[in-house]
Amino acid sequence: MLSATEKSAYFAGIRDGWPFVFVAGPFAMLFGVVAIEAGLSLAQAMGFSVVVIAGASQFAAVQLMVDNAGIALVLLAALAVNLRMAMYSAALVPFLGSAPLWQRACVSYLNFDQSYMASVARYETVPMTVPERFWFFIGVATPIAPTWVAFTAVGGLVGTSIPPEYALDFALPITFLAMIGPMLRTLAHVAAAFVSMCVGLVLVGLPSGSGLLIAAACAMITGVIVESWTEKRT
């Protein structure tokens, strides 16, 4: 049974989480469309959204499957996209590190961009007990996660009825590009993105996926170098 404060923390979480439905819904629908276009079944598209529940990596995995990369490379690239979640996981330790294991296991499953950002924003401004923080986190995810799965299905059902003239092939590049813009917060991010793009283009002829990994490694190192350089100057 939840205490009154845990219950109100849960509902506060739902209040903070529901606006993200308007981001997750269309994005999930697009994933459904792209997955079906790529040749996945509706069950497989939904399987991705339930099991992986991480937008960018789902798009990346499907794209590399279309490119006929091996399973190992699909896995590496998709997980590389999700490595930022290791940071989220680390950043939650001060707030939720002492929660019971089953709670940390639940939070880990639901730890995606929106739930992480909304929760940490709350934790940093409002004093809460650890159980309240847990229920707040679950509250944020409550409207978003089911929306993600349901709209994947909607996209999958609608997608097959869309003719090729509508250039849905380009839905995926546009979605990736749309995610890059908001990430360019500092000079170091811009430099990393630029290096990633250049190396990616130069190495495009390498066996599927391996150029991507080299480009990503170069870009991450570039980001760190530029970051320490800008820190020294200020």
Partner 1 sequence: MTFSNAEIWLTILLVGVGTYVIRFSFLGLIGDRPMPAIVLRLLRYTPVAVLPAMVAPLALWPDATGGDVDPVRVTAALATLAMGVWKKHVLWAIGAGAVTLYAGLYLTGQL
Termini Cα distance of the chain: 52
Compute the residue count for the chain: 234
3-state helix, strand, coil in the chain (%, to 5): 80, 0, 20
- DSSP 8-state code for residue 98: T
* 12, 29, 138, 212: residue in contact with partner 1 (rule CB under 8 A): 212
Element (H, E) at 60: helix 55-66
Nearer to partner 1, 3 or 41 (CB): 41
Number of residues that bind partner 1 (CB under 8 A): 98
Q: Closest separation between CB of residue 1 and partner 1, Å?
A: 25
Nearer to partner 1, 1 or 167 (CB): 167
**Which residues, numbered 93-122, are part of the site for partner 1 (CB under 8 A)?**
93-94, 96-97, 101, 104-105, 107-109, 111
Nearer to partner 1, 9 or 188 (CB): 188
Sign of the torsion formed by the C-alpha atoms of 177, 59, 122 and 190 = negative
Does position 230 bind partner 1 by CB under 8 A? no
Stretch that binds partner 1, among 7-15, 24-32, 120-128, 144-152 (CB under 8 A): 24-32
Nearer to partner 1, 5 or 228 (CB): 228
Element (H, E) at 221: helix 210-233
Does position 187 bind partner 1 by CB under 8 A? no
**Which residues, numbered 119-178, are part of the site for partner 1 (CB under 8 A)?**
164-167, 169-170, 172-178
* 23, 100, 130, 133: residue in contact with partner 1 (rule CB under 8 A): 23
Q: Closest separation between CB of residue 4 and partner 1, Å?
A: 27
If DSSP codes are grouped into helix, strand and coil, which group holds residue 40? coil
Burial zone of 218 (CB within 10 Å; 0-12 exposed, 13-18 middle, 19+ buried): middle
Nearer to partner 1, 4 or 34 (CB): 34
- Residue type present at position 130: V
C-alpha distances in Å from residue 192, one per residue of 12, 64, 86, 206:
37, 22, 19, 21
